[in-house]
Amino acid sequence: MPGGVRIPETSVTLISEISGNPGSVRWSEMFDRYKEPMVAFLASRYPTLEADDIVQETMIALSSRLGKWRYSPDEKGHFRNYLMGILKHKAEDAMAKRVRESKARERLKSMPDASGGEKERELRELRANALEVALDQLMADESVNALHKTVFRCVAIQKEPPETVAARLAISRANVDQIKKRMIVRLRSLMETLLKA
């Protein structure tokens, strides 16, 4: 492990108690147990990233996936490898997001000082690019409810009738409209962040 930090041995008891139970009080123990080695890994491989944010995102992802993970005592360090794999994936996502945001900012800075139709065309193109990046970020955000993503994808992106989506997902039409409205607010906020950066 980078920096001489030892990854703790897998605690089968701890994992079994928190598996499928995101509200377990033992999650704080899990976090304390693995935070230091995760931060050390990020410092050695991705020093420009905000380690605390990535660690938090990793633990959130772990809480939703742990119920599907199966311990195999014949595979030494299997859980540790699994956890570090999630951490690496989150770090790479963060790096990719940074690249996308940087490209959007560069397009804004390099926009020619044109006038009339050309200026408006450039602005429309810039907003379209920002929308694409913001949409990618929104749909990749694991803090966003999976049902909300599905509703937004069906109604706002694929243009399905709200009544059809509501019936298929067994929710009310009003609920579909409310979810769409909330997701649009989040999407606009992401776009504004990109355009102002």
Residue 49, pLDDT score: 87
Q: Which CATH architecture has domain 2-96?
A: Orthogonal Bundle (1.10)
CB contact set of 62 (below 8 Å; sequence gap of 6+): 83, 86
CB contact set of 36 (below 8 Å; sequence gap of 6+): 5
Cite the residue boundaries of each domain of the chain with CATH code 1.10.1740.10. 2-96
Measured CA to CA, the distance from residue 107 to residue 126 in angstroms comes to 7
Cite the residue boundaries of each domain of the chain with CATH code 1.10.10. 116-196
Q: 107 or 166: whose pLDDT is higher?
A: 166
Q: Which CATH architecture has domain 116-196?
A: Orthogonal Bundle (1.10)
Average pLDDT of the residues of the chain:
81
- pTM of the predicted structure, to 2 decimals: 0.52
